[in-house]
Amino acid sequence: MTTAYATRPAPAELDAADRRIINRLQDGLPLVASPYAVVAVELGLSEGELLYRLERLLESGVLSRFGPMYHAERLGGGLTLAALAVPERDYDAVVEAVNAFPEVAHNYRREHRLNMWFVLATETPERIAQVIAEIEAATGLLVFNMPKQEEFHVRLHLPV
Amino acid sequence: MSVSTCPSDAAWLDATDRAIVLATQAGLPLVPDPWGAVGRPLGLSGEAVRDRLARMQEAGIVRRVAAVPNHYRLGYVANGMTVWDVDDARIDRLGREVARLPGVSHCYRRPRHLPDWPYNLFAMLHGRTRAEVEAQADTLRELLGSACRDHRILYSSRILKKTGLRLAGRSDRPG
C-alpha cells in the first residue's frame, strides 16, 4: 500500500564543512548586514559556498528549515500537544484524517497505547478547542489535550 | 516586564511585523542580502526588516534565526519523549533543572489525564541510539529522585507530518 506520509529518513553523508555549517547555524544567524558573508568568514568558506551548501542541506532534508523560529503563542496563536489512542487496524485512515487539518503542524507515531501525538497550531487560542472537536468528529476518537502549563527553557544543540 | 510569562504579545505586533512573519515563516532567502529580499515585495528596506526582526527577537517572539535540523538525517535516530509523574509541589524547581541536561530539546509541564495518563512533566531526549537516550533518562530519573513516582519513554517510530508552524495569511497588510 502506498502511504502519503514520510517514513524515517536515513542519516545523511556530511563532510566537515557541512558539519561546521550545521553546528554554527543551529545557534543562529547574526542580525547584521550580509549575515551569510559574516558566518562564511567564521567558517572559512566563501559566501557563495555557504549559500550553495545551505541550499543543498535544505533540499536533501538534512535541515528541515532555515529562518526565523517564531514563538507561536507570542504571535497570538494557539498551540497544544494532543494524543490519540488509535486502533492499529484504523491507523492509516486516522493519519489521513488528522493530517488533513492544516492546523496539525507535526504528527508522530509513538510506541504507547497513546500512539499518535500531534501539535496543533491555530490562528487564535480559541480555535484549539474547535479543531479538537473537529478531529474527534472526524476520527470518532477521544483527543487527549495536553497544552503546556509551564515551559522550562532549553536550547537544543545537536552536535554533528 | 518579564517576557517569559506574557500569555500573548500579539498586540505588540503591527501589520508590518505580521507581514514579515508571513514572508519568512517558510524560511529566510538564501541570497547575500536576505533582509532586502524579504523587504522588497513589502516595500521595506533591508535595514527595516532587520531592525524589526531584532526587536521581535528581543521580545521573544522570534526565538532566533537558525537552522532546524532533521534529527534523523543527522543520525539522531533515537528520539524519546520521556514523560514523568512528578510531585506537583516540586515540579517547577525540578523542571528547570531537567531542562539544563544535555540532550533535552523541550521540557514542559502538562496536565495529567487520570486515570489514563498520570504524567505531568515532558522532556524530549535525542540520541544516536536508544541506549544513549536511556542513559540520559537514567540521569533524569536520578535528578528527580523521590519526587518522581513513575515514568515512560515513548519513542517516535514514524514522522507522520512535519510542516512546522504556519500562520494563515491575514487581511491586515501594511498600507
**Is residue A8 scored above 90 in pLDDT?**
no
> Hey, what CATH topology would domain B10-58 get?
Arc Repressor Mutant, subunit A (1.10.10)
Nearest residue, CB atoms, B165 vs list A105, A110, A147:
A105
Chain A closest CA to B56's CA: distance in Å?
A: 9
- pTM for the whole structure: 0.77
Give the model's confidence band at A7: pLDDT under 50 very low, under 70 low, under 90 confident, else very high. low
Domain ranges of chain A: 16-59, 73-145
| Topology alike, domains B10-58 and B72-155 | no
> Hey, what CATH topology would domain B72-155 get?
Alpha-Beta Plaits (3.30.70)
Question: Which chain B residue has the Cα nearest residue A32?
Answer: B50
Determine whether the interchain pair B107/A154 forms a contact, defined as Cβ–Cβ distance below 8 Å. yes
pLDDT (tens digit, 0 to 9) for every residue of chain B, 175 residues total? Answer: 333 334 445 557 899 999 999 999 889 999 999 999 999 999 999 999 999 999 999 988 998 999 988 888 888 888 899 999 999 999 999 999 999 988 898 899 999 999 999 999 999 999 999 999 999 999 999 999 999 999 999 998 888 987 766 655 443 333 3
In whole angstroms, give the CA distance from residue A117 to residue B160. 9
In whole angstroms, give the CA distance from residue A101 to residue B128. 32
Q: From the options 3.30.460.80, 3.30.365.10, 3.30.470.20, 3.30.70.920, give the CATH code of A73-145.
A: 3.30.70.920
In whole angstroms, give the CA distance from residue B127 to residue A159. 11
Torsion sign across C-alpha atoms B4, B5, B8, B11? negative
A68-119: per-residue pLDDT in tens? 998 877 888 899 999 999 999 999 999 999 999 999 988 999 999 999 999 9
In degrees to the nearest 10, what's the CA dihedral of A60, A63, A64, A67? -130
Residues of A in contact with B31 (CB under 8 A): 51
Q: How big is the CA angle at B64 (ends A103 and A30), to the nearest 5 degrees?
A: 145
Determine whether the interchain pair B160/A158 forms a contact, defined as Cβ–Cβ distance below 8 Å. no
Determine whether the interchain pair B67/A10 forms a contact, defined as Cβ–Cβ distance below 8 Å. no
pLDDT of residue B11: 57
In whole angstroms, give the CA distance from residue A153 to residue B1. 18
Q: What is the DSSP letter of A72?
A: T
Q: State how far the alpha carbon of A63 is from the alpha carbons of A40, A55, A58, A135, in Å.
A: 18, 9, 5, 30
In whole angstroms, give the CA distance from residue B166 to residue A123. 9
Q: State how far the alpha carbon of B56 is from the alpha carbons of A69, A159, B69, in Å.
A: 11, 27, 23
In sequence order, the β-bridge partners of residue B106 are: B124
Count of other CB atoms within 10 angstroms of residue B129 = 12
In whole angstroms, give the CA distance from residue B102 to residue B126. 9
**Diameter over CA atoms, chain B:** 58
Domain ranges of chain B: 10-58, 72-155
Determine whether the interchain pair A8/B77 forms a contact, defined as Cβ–Cβ distance below 8 Å. yes
Count Cβ–Cβ pairs < 8 Å, chain A vs chain B.
267
Helix (H, G, I), strand (E, B) or coil at A70: strand
Determine whether the interchain pair B75/A11 forms a contact, defined as Cβ–Cβ distance below 8 Å. yes
